[in-house]
Chain A
Amino acid sequence: MSANSSGGQPVLEMAGVTKDFGSGEALVKALDNVDFSAHPSEVAVVMGPSGSGKTTFLTIAGALMRPTTGTVVVSGIEVTHLPEAQLSEVRRRRVGFVFQSFNLLEALTGLENVQLVMQAEGLSARHAIERAKALLEIFGVGHRRDHPPKHLSGGEKQRVAIARALANNPDLLLADEPTANLDSTRGREVLQLLRVIARDLGKAVIIVSHDLRVREVADRLLWLEDGQFRPLPPI
């Protein structure tokens, strides 16, 4: 089954993507001939049971892993056969990641976590700090910017992580179980934030989640099972 959306130039295009792990009798097809596309300003939610291939899908979409077969195009760049150095560049410039366990650097403050990725892109320290402050203000954690992650609540950490993901103004935002470590109120807030990011900032947002609340912000809801997109089961 194809999982392509229509309208506008796609930010992400995956065509005939297969990912195999192991070989022979131990071969596991984590993704099996998957087609997928995502467009600006939309939120695509990928759900599915454990082991369905959701994480593999996200890592290939985010240019962290190469598919066994098929092609992946991010913001018009075919990344399938790019060398690692250029893949890093694509991830840094074109893709933002939001993780289940926030994945902030513990030794840095919230501000520095956001600032750092901009510095890697060559932005001057002054501009990076200004932009990081602005992003943290927008996401409601400006007053907590000088605290290290261990002094932030789960919701605050996820907001800092979202600010970091958007620091280099990527076209594509990939969120892996972004509400898994949050209570229901904070989880809803984060989902609404992702919705706003897609709608107001024109980003393509892909959320992989088990959380049924995620449906509330989805423009498209997809079901991944045994490495293939399948019709949505009754939930």
Chain B
Amino acid sequence: MVSIARKNLFAEKMRFAMSVSGVGFSVFLITLLLSLFRGWNDRVGSFVEHVPVDIWVAREGTTDFLRPISVLPQEIAGELRALEGVDSVHPLVVIPTGFEWEGKAVETHLVGYDTTGSAGGPLEIVEGKPVPSEGEMVIDKALSKMYGPNIGDVLEHSGQSFEVVGLASGGNFVATQVSFMPIESARRLLGVEELTTFYLVMVDDQHEPVVVAERIEENLTGVSAFTGEDFADTTRDRTLRDVIPILIIILILAFVVGAAVTGLMIYTATVEKAREFGILRAVGFSNGYLYRVVIEQSLITGLVGFTGGVILNVVVGRFAEDLVPQFVILVRWTDVAAVLGVTLAMSALAALLPVRRLAGIDPVTVFKA
């Protein structure tokens, strides 16, 4: 079958390339923003979600891992252990801290944990020593990439020195990264010997974490207890909720730009081919056929642009995080399918104006020389 739409598009290669680029850029922007959001969402909550504990106990009013207002007295540990269903309790210190390395500031969320157990420590060691001793620390590999320190380097804080002995993964919160040291070192570093930010609670096999969390809040005053999943969700929510409106606005802009570029290109192509569309009407093609030609042109442009945009996103996603640690991309194929739907909507929208233009073409004009 002869497809006028395809023939028209490929006869004007430069225009087609420009239309496809416009749609492709728009699709790239939309998928990139969605992938970024997915990536951030995944990373921000990932550490909390994967710390192998059942319940996070914090000072009442604490809502997330990154902004703890939590200073808990040590006697709470005993009270927790006494509750039915509690198997073990581990103190954790979490506090945003700045170190100095080669004259540069290295900002991190310092995690002091009980190195005799694994709760609250690095999720995965990618290089070096897994458990830091006194005067040592393990940093996230994303922190190493961002600021530069590596195994063997020494970070300074308030006259105290800490040698980097290991690189970990899974502690990249995008906006910040975690570093680990023994809880005693962390307390000494911060000058508060009794400091505990969170208690991590393991529940025995006979009890559900949700039930024990409720019991903790009922029996202990001034504390909040979250299951790991809930605490991950609130951390995600608190961290990303300010970003979401901005993402939505950029998504809408990307959609409008894509629809406008496609619409303008298809409209211009239709106006330029008005005489040819008039010929088609004169020789007996129905308006419906002409509309299909324009819609097909728009859809082809949309689909080629979509394919280009998605491929670009996947390629960028593969290398972006290595270059910029905050550029965490997670491509979900359900999102890609949704963007395909958006692209088709964009293409259909872009065809509306040209279709209206077609309806006004008078076939009699083809008799003019």
| Stretch from A114-122, A138-146, A183-191 forming part of the interface with B | A114-122
Q: Enumerate chain B residues within 8 angstroms of A58, measured Cβ to Cβ.
A: 367
Closest to B275 in A: A103
Contact check: which of A108, A119, A176 meets B367 at CB < 8 Å? A176
B169 within 8 A of A: no
**Does chain B have a CB within 8 A of A4?**
no
**Is the C-beta of A85 less than 8 angstroms from some C-beta in chain B?**
yes
In the bound complex, CA of A49 to CA of B168 (Å): 92
Q: Would you call A88 an interface residue if the criterion is a C-beta within 8 Å of the partner chain's C-beta atoms?
A: yes
Beyond A55-B367, A59-B364, A116-B2, is A106–B11 a contact (Cβ under 8 Å)? yes
Q: Interface 1/0s, chain A 56-75, versus B by CB < 8 A?
A: 00110010110000000000
Counting CB contacts under 8 A, is A99 at the interface?
yes
B1 located at the interface, meaning its Cβ lies under 8 Å from any Cβ of chain A in the complex: yes
Number of A-B contacts (CB under 8 A): 77
B369 touches A100 (CB 8 A): yes
**In the complex, per-residue mask of A74-103: 1 if CB is within 8 Å of any chain B CB, else 0:** 000000000011001111110101011101
Q: How many residues of B are in contact with the other chain, CB < 8 A? A: 24
Chain A contributes a number of interface residues (CB within 8 A of B) equal to 38
Taking a contact as CB atoms closer than 8 A, the residue among B276, B287, B363 that contacts A106 in the complex is B276
With both beta carbons as reference points, the residue of chain A lying nearest to B366 in the complex is identified as: A103
A120 touches B369 (CB 8 A): no
CB-nearest residue of chain B to A90: B284
CA–CA, A103 to B366, complex, Å? 7
Q: Which of A55, A100, A120 contacts B284 (CB 8 A)?
A: A120
Q: Is the CB of A117 within 8 A of B1?
A: no
Contact of B241 with A by CB under 8 A: no
With a cutoff of 8 Å between Cβ atoms, the chain B residues found around residue A89 in the complex are 284
B281 within 8 Å of A by Cβ? yes
Whether A112 sits at the interface, judged by CB under 8 Å, is yes
In the assembly, what is the distance between CA of A202 and CA of B123, in Å? 89
Q: Tell yes or no: B161 within 8 A of A by CB.
A: no
Q: Which residues from 179 to 208 on chain B have a C-beta closer than 8 Å to any C-beta of chain A? A: none
Q: Closest B-chain residue to A101, C-beta based?
A: B369
Q: Which of A33-71 contact B (CB under 8 A)?
A: 55, 58-59, 62, 64-65
Contact with B along A166-198 (1 / 0, CB 8 A): 001000000011001100000000000000000
Task: Return the chain B residue nearest A208 by Cβ.
Answer: B367
On B, residues with C-beta under 8 Å from A are 1-2, 4, 7-8, 10-11, 275-276, 279-287, 289, 363-364, 366-367, 369
Q: List 6 A-B contacts (CB under 8 A).
A: A55-B364, A91-B283, A119-B1, A125-B1, A125-B2, A165-B283
